[in-house]
Structure 1
Amino acid sequence: MDLLGSGREADVYAIGEGRVLRRYRRGDDATAEARLMSHLAAHGFPVPQVHSANGADMIMERLDGPTMADAFAAGHLGVDDGAAILAGLHEHLHRLPSRSGRDSILHRDLHPENVMLTTRGPVVIDWHNAAEGRPAVDVCLTAVIIAQVAADPGHPHAGAATAFLGAFLTRVGGEQLDGLGEALEIRRADPSLTAAGAAGLAAAVTPLIRGAVS
């Protein structure tokens, strides 16, 4: 198998025949994620086709094209177009029936690195953090993640992230910010954040987010 890439939690290998193997390094069970992706695909939401899942392994369709983040960096995608794509994906996802029949399906990590721009259109990857809840929380999680980049003066895309944050929130509407408190609590629990980063998260991103819709 050829290693294609590694994320925070999983490695992805090419296994031929237009397929990849995604393997969780900590042994997380991928079967619930696979069932959710199959549910989404059955309702017309753009996700990679799942061929099988067993334990920490999931075999999926190999996608072509760059991530949205890579397309931005290469100058192949503009801020307004990217914001429209991301806002549209949120709207599409949140109106689909959930498996429980109660709350909406939330991706909870829907940002430009988790959207592939393929020949069949944008496709959303990495459903490991998905849950059910209020759509405003999902929208605000996206805003928080983008604002974290915008708030980092050393990040090469901080300026672009600020512009993207404003364009995205203009698309989704300021009323979605009633999910910000819950989104911040979820984001603080992210194991990739240091204790200091988690403690200072709200102070770092809230002014950027609220300022983008004022």
Structure 2
Amino acid sequence: MGIGELVGAGRTADVFALDDGRVLRRYRGGGDATGEVAVMAYLAERGYPVPAVWPGVAAGELVMQRLSGVTMVEALANGVITAERAGEMLAELLRRLHAIPPRLSADPGHRVLHLDFHPENVMLTPQGPMVIDWATAAEGPPGLDSAMAALILAQVAVTVPAVSVAARAVLCSLLRQLDGIDGEHLAEARRRRAGNPTLSPDEVGKLDEAVALITEAAGS
């Protein structure tokens, strides 16, 4: 397996090209990708739009189908997709995900949760949208996943002035498509987000403002 150029980098991992239409995703901190591979394979078997995936050589690696297209963020910036449609698409993908039974949990109310669901983790490909980056996937109540998705959008809206208007518009569209955001789930999403070691002090410090924005947008 010949590792090629760096083609992407996130907060915790780097992505390298391989020579056969695939990419290698490698955690910088040496985290274990075994669970991520299992979740993605499980979802793919049930028709959910995720890239094909294979285990890497080391525990902190996974080999993934190389996708063509752009992220939803890039599509928004280029005017390829409207904020309204982006919010609708996010809601559709969440509903499809939460219709799939859990892989491990015996609780009938649990589903597979992405827990880092936002426009940078949705690729718009010629075959349709594909959801990437399942490192934080877990199982639990689907309302928590929806609350986390809304909170991430709201957090971007209050911390990144350059995209604040677009993030707010996508958030409002998403909230119109959901059956509401449960207060307990939003509080749990806030708690988890505050404990995320990849967030800056400014991002953590504006979580309450982000929560307030969700409440305001949900009521408008």
**Contact 2:155–2:203 (CA<8 Å) still a contact in 1?**
no
Aligned to 1:88: 92
Aligned to 2:23: 20
Identity of aligned residues (%): 42
Q: How many residues align?
A: 212
Question: Shift of residue 195 of structure 1?
Answer: 4.5
Q: Could you tell me which amino acid in structure 2 is paired with residue 109 of structure 1?
A: D
Aligned residue runs from structure 1 range 54-203, under 5 A: 54-100=58-104, 101-102=106-107, 103-152=110-159, 155-195=161-201, 197-202=203-208
* Distance in 1 separating the partners of 2:137 and 2:185: 16
Q: Could you tell me which amino acid in structure 1 is paired with residue 95 of structure 2?
A: E
Question: Shift of residue 193 of structure 1?
Answer: 2.5
* Distance in 2 separating the partners of 1:4 and 1:196: 28
- Stretches of 4+ aligned residues off by more than 6 angstroms: none
Aligned to 1:47: 50
**Contact 2:115–2:148 (CA<8 Å) still a contact in 1?**
yes
Moved more, 185-194 or 29-38: 185-194
Q: TM-score, normalised by structure 1?
A: 0.94
Does the residue aligned with 1:213 lie in a helix, a strand or coil?
Answer: helix
Listed one character per residue, the Cα deviations across residues 94-126 of structure 1 (whole Å, up to 9, x for unaligned) are 110111242211100000000000111100000
* Distance in 2 separating the partners of 1:133 and 1:4: 33
**Contact 1:136–1:177 (CA<8 Å) still a contact in 2?**
no
Tell me: CA distance 1:5–1:196, structure 2 relative to 1, closer, same or farther (3 Å).
Answer: closer
User: Given the alignment of the two structures, is residue 207 of structure 1 paired with residue 203 of structure 2, yes or no?
Assistant: no
**Contact 1:106–1:131 (CA<8 Å) still a contact in 2?**
yes
**Contact 1:3–1:14 (CA<8 Å) still a contact in 2?**
yes
Does the residue aligned with 1:58 lie in a helix, a strand or coil?
Answer: strand
* Distance in 2 separating the partners of 1:207 and 1:92: 28
Does the residue aligned with 1:128 lie in a helix, a strand or coil?
Answer: coil
Question: Shift of residue 156 of structure 1?
Answer: 0.8
* Distance in 2 separating the partners of 1:25 and 1:107: 21
Q: Could you tell me which amino acid in structure 2 is paired with residue 42 of structure 1?
A: E
Question: Shift of residue 77 of structure 1?
Answer: 0.5
**Contact 1:48–1:124 (CA<8 Å) still a contact in 2?**
yes
Question: Shift of residue 57 of structure 1?
Answer: 1.3
Q: Alignment RMSD, CA only?
A: 1.4
Q: TM-score, normalised by structure 2?
A: 0.91
* Distance in 1 separating the partners of 2:174 and 2:46: 25
Q: Could you tell me which amino acid in structure 1 is paired with residue 71 of structure 2?
A: T
